[in-house]
Amino acid sequence: MIEAYLRSDGRKGIRNVVAVAYLVECAHHVARRIVDKADDPDVHLVGFPGCFPNAYAAKVMRAIATHPNVGGMVLVSLGCESFDREGLRDAVEASGRPVELLIIQEEGGTAATIDRGLAAVERVRAAAAETPRVPMRVDELVIGTICGGSDGTSGITANPAVGRAFDRLVAEAATCIFEETGELIGCEAIMADRAVTPELGRELEACVEKAERYYTTMGFGSFAPGNAEGGLTTLEEKSMGAYSKSGSSPISGIVKPGDVPPSGGLYLLDVVPDGEPRFGFPNISDNAEIVELIACGAHLTLFTTGRGSAISPVIKICANPETARRLAADMDIDAGRILEGAATLDEVGEEIYAKVLAIASGDRTVSEELGHQEFILTYKAFEPIGPSCLPLAAGRPA
């Protein structure tokens, strides 16, 4: 039984985080000092570095600030930046959460704002602690998945094991989200065959084609030197391994960062911006995609080899038995045992499923224990999703 935090919009969270958000890089130091001084694993640092406005960043920040795992917010503004701080504060307030806004240029500078910020964290934390606890079912969970630092073992062990866990979660009506269309290049046709409608299948192919155009313009595919050292030679080879995280359930729809899937099922998160390439790489590192999964409502994220991120716990599943030994203190699950014949894909899939329930019930992931809270949000541009992207949502109660 998962004991969740009930938010006033009816959504349920598995953590009760107080997030301190800087609204421009100039406020980052003050926000970081507030979080450092609070010295609480459930006080997290999030933020947006840019001074120019961006609709995507505003949407993602609003989704983060009203995420079911968030109990309250402290916003730190320098004062002169473009970010709509009052709009964000009002959205958090409207969601029924405690929120405080500090403006460094009005509070009297760095030291004064750090002191007041720390006091604000205390008040917000106390208010958030009053959040009612309620039971939560598996079908109310939203689970994301991403891979990082993939090698030739990822597509054989950890990724398909996550796919098995996803199949079971989807069968139990949970919401599962896979992502990174730039790492699905080469899989578009087989993926389209799993769409619940032919129109959605065409949209799935179109978003991978968009990713290929975008990355080609950038000059690099989503392929790191470490991938090659680990035995992967090409982007499409990496894609085939990454794709196996999605399991074998039908694909119910496509969402974009900040869209919460309308119901249980398997969804693709399209992370590649729309229109002419602007602002640089779609995601400058994996952490940016975890932030986007969280913005889509993910309560926790299954990360096959990797690190961690703020707000949503990250369960790290190691694909390579050698890495599992070398970085044992960083991993939640050793899927490398599959390679050595010590466990089957089904067994590790079940282990991941059981770990999801344990973490949702309040157990800490290794990355939470280690204090990993990477958070990156940069500039992007998106069009709203098209009418074919959520075919099952029509006629459903909101």
Partner 1 sequence: MIDPKLILLHEDDNVLVSVAPIAAGDSLAFDGLELCAGEDVGVGHKIARRMLRPGGKIFKYGAPIGSATREIALGEWVHSHNMQSDYIPSHSRKTGEEGHTR
Rounded CA separation 120/74 (Å): 7
Does 221 help bind partner 1 (rule: CB under 8 A)? yes
Residues binding partner 1: number (CB under 8 A): 35
Segment contacting partner 1 (CB under 8 A): 90-98, 134-142, 223-231, 381-389?
Answer: 223-231
What's CA 334's distance to the chain center, in Å? Answer: 22
Does 267 help bind partner 1 (rule: CB under 8 A)? no
Among 7, 19, 23, 200, smallest CA distance to 103 is for 23
Does 335 help bind partner 1 (rule: CB under 8 A)? no
Does 234 help bind partner 1 (rule: CB under 8 A)? yes
Does 190 help bind partner 1 (rule: CB under 8 A)? yes
Does 277 help bind partner 1 (rule: CB under 8 A)? no
Segment contacting partner 1 (CB under 8 A): 132-140, 219-227, 287-295, 298-306?
Answer: 219-227
Does 220 help bind partner 1 (rule: CB under 8 A)? yes
68 or 230: whose CB is closer to partner 1? 230
Rounded CA separation 364/354 (Å): 14
The answer to whether 360 and 300 have CB atoms below 8 angstroms apart is: yes
Cβ neighbors of 336 (< 8 A, separation 6 or more) are 153, 157, 158, 318, 319, 320, 321, 322, 323, 324
Does 153 help bind partner 1 (rule: CB under 8 A)? yes
Residue recorded with tokens 């689970």: 143
What is the smallest separation between the CB atom of 152 and partner 1, expressed in angstroms?
Answer: 2
Contact pick of 68, 186, 265, 297 for partner 1 (by CB under 8 A): 186
Does 148 help bind partner 1 (rule: CB under 8 A)? no
Rounded CA separation 56/293 (Å): 14
What is the smallest separation between the CB atom of 237 and partner 1, expressed in angstroms?
Answer: 4
Segment contacting partner 1 (CB under 8 A): 43-51, 97-105, 148-156, 287-295?
Answer: 148-156
Contact pick of 23, 204, 207, 235 for partner 1 (by CB under 8 A): 235
What is the smallest separation between the CB atom of 221 and partner 1, expressed in angstroms?
Answer: 3
Does 242 help bind partner 1 (rule: CB under 8 A)? no
69 or 145: whose CB is closer to partner 1? 145
Among 25, 32, 29, smallest CA distance to 48 is for 25
What is the smallest separation between the CB atom of 1 and partner 1, expressed in angstroms?
Answer: 39
Contact pick of 105, 110, 233, 361 for partner 1 (by CB under 8 A): 233
Residue recorded with tokens 């320098």: 78
The answer to whether 25 and 79 have CB atoms below 8 angstroms apart is: no
Rounded CA separation 241/233 (Å): 12
Contact pick of 206, 240, 260, 370 for partner 1 (by CB under 8 A): 240
Tokens matching residue 385? 């999703």
What is the smallest separation between the CB atom of 196 and partner 1, expressed in angstroms?
Answer: 22
Rounded CA separation 293/263 (Å): 16
E-strand ranges in the chain read 2-6, 12-13, 17-22, 43-47, 70-77, 99-103, 133-136, 142-147, 175-179, 251-255, 265-269, 300-304, 314-318, 333-334
The answer to whether 351 and 168 have CB atoms below 8 angstroms apart is: no
Contact pick of 57, 232, 298, 376 for partner 1 (by CB under 8 A): 232
Contacting residues toward partner 1, per CB under 8 A: 151-156, 185-187, 190, 212, 215-216, 220-221, 223, 225, 227-228, 230-237, 240-241, 244, 320-322, 339-340
